[in-house]
Chains A and B, each alone.
Chain A
Amino acid sequence: MSDPNGLIQPGRTAPGFTLPATPDGALVGPEQFRGRPVVLAFYPADWSPVCGDQMSLYQSAAPVFAQYQAVVLGVSVDSIWSHRAFAESRGIEFPLLADFEPKGEVARSYGAYMANGEAARALVVLDPAGKVTWSYLSPPDVNPGADGIFDALDQLAADRKVMAG
């Protein structure tokens, strides 16, 4: 089960945080990327046994994320050491954040923590000001892909055009 309060919903200001991240353990968080959309991809664990697991898929889609100037941050409760080995084995270059101590604190603050002690498989897109613009909770065993994320990023770009125009 996920958080009884549920996943954070659009319109809310995203809770600020920093966590140790790959590759070098430096503290990384969404506030460092104000002015750009930020995609938070919470996921249960490193090392899922399929070809093209969710994080590998997002790495392969890096050129598409770049078109939106979007930053992707993967978040799970794994330690930085696990993240580092996982990132190296899959060629993942975007930061994987270790929500390790206190365990799952960030996932909890986004309503993306499960009773089994893992992060839920949840996607949260923040607008350039740090407000949640889209969120999606996937069943833990279903890779949600990236189509919903790109639709949300398209919507953001369209909204900004209207505001500018």
Chain B
Amino acid sequence: MSTPLQVTARLRDPVTTDDHIRGPADAAVTIVEYGDFQCQFCGAAYPNLHELLRQRADTVRLVYRYFPIANVHPYAERAAETAEAAGVRGRFWEMHDWLYEHQDQLDPVHLSLGVEQVGLPPDELNAEVENRAHADRVRRDFVGGIRSGVNGTPTLFVNGIRHDGGYDLPDLLTAADAAANA
């Protein structure tokens, strides 16, 4: 049962309608990102993924799943649960974008201001997060990720196969185009 060779990690939890999805439903390429809102490398990848979706608007869609590494990033779990609270109100991507554009403002006070800027009631979302109403969802994403071979953040799966390359725009375009033509 020993594994002598490097095995390519594959996504084990298929994309469903429960996922947060941005881009066309019939896209040839689905990129699943496991991310941590407080991770600087995810923050660096964020504008590149944005640009990828703009340049490949007909062929690429992005799925975001939570992978907070809470022992290293003390605000990551709360940020993820807040994004989910926004998600149940149909505002996931607005919150997601705010979080990645304000990574130095994830403390509870600034986070509340962010919720307000996204147009949602901060007290209501705050109460849900305090009650851990969305903790199970975040945990489900995390466990699915760790079982799929997520080994840090960000980890991307391009059409189900772990992307072990870089996160600069040219890397992402190359990976997406290769998957589209596969």
Say whether B146 contacts A64, CB under 8 Å: yes
Q: Which residues of A lie under 8 Å from residue B69 when comparing CB positions?
A: 51-52, 56-57, 60
Say whether A147 contacts B148, CB under 8 Å: yes
A35 CB-CB contact with B under 8 Å: no
Contact-residue bracket for chain A: 35 or more
Q: Which residues of B lie under 8 Å from residue A63 when comparing CB positions?
A: 139
A54 CB-CB contact with B under 8 Å: yes
B174 CB-CB contact with A under 8 Å: no
- Cα separation A56 to B142 with both chains bound (whole Å): 14
Of the candidates A51, A142, A144, A146, which one forms a contact with B40 in the assembled complex, judged by CB atoms under 8 Å apart? Answer: A51
- Across chains A and B, the number of contacting residue pairs, with CB separation under 8 Å, is 83
Q: Which residues of B lie under 8 Å from residue A135 when comparing CB positions?
A: 2
Say whether B146 contacts A146, CB under 8 Å: yes
B36 CB-CB contact with A under 8 Å: yes
Say whether A143 contacts B3, CB under 8 Å: no
Within 8 A of B (CB), among A44-63: 50-54, 56-57, 59-61, 63
Query: Knowing A52-B69, A145-B146 touch, does A152 contact B1 (C-beta < 8 A)?
Result: yes
Query: Knowing A51-B72, A60-B69, A61-B146 touch, does A142 contact B153 (C-beta < 8 A)?
Result: no
* Cβ-closest chain B residue relative to A132: B2
Q: Which residues of A lie under 8 Å from residue B149 when comparing CB positions?
A: 145, 147
Q: Which residues of A lie under 8 Å from residue B147 when comparing CB positions?
A: 147, 150
Q: Which residues of A lie under 8 Å from residue B72 when comparing CB positions?
A: 51-52, 56, 60, 90-91
Of the candidates B41, B68, B142, B151, which one forms a contact with A143 in the assembled complex, judged by CB atoms under 8 Å apart? Answer: B151
A16 CB-CB contact with B under 8 Å: no
Of the candidates A52, A54, A90, A155, which one forms a contact with B36 in the assembled complex, judged by CB atoms under 8 Å apart? Answer: A52
B47 CB-CB contact with A under 8 Å: no
- Cα separation A54 to B2 with both chains bound (whole Å): 20
- Cα separation A61 to B70 with both chains bound (whole Å): 10
* Cβ-closest chain A residue relative to B40: A51
B156 CB-CB contact with A under 8 Å: no
A133 CB-CB contact with B under 8 Å: yes
Say whether A52 contacts B146, CB under 8 Å: no
B149 → chain A closest CB, angstroms: 4
Beyond A52-B153, A152-B1, 11 extra complex contacts between A and B, CB < 8 Å: A51-B40, A51-B69, A52-B36, A56-B72, A60-B69, A60-B72, A91-B71, A137-B4, A145-B151, A146-B146, A147-B146
B residues whose Cβ falls under 8 Å from a Cβ of A: 1-4, 6-7, 9, 36, 39-42, 68-72, 139, 142-143, 146-153
A residues whose Cβ falls under 8 Å from a Cβ of B: 7, 9-10, 50-54, 56-57, 59-61, 63-64, 90-93, 133-139, 142-148, 150, 152, 155
List of 5 A-B pairs having minimum Cβ-Cβ separation, nearest first: A91-B71, A52-B152, A145-B151, A143-B151, A147-B149
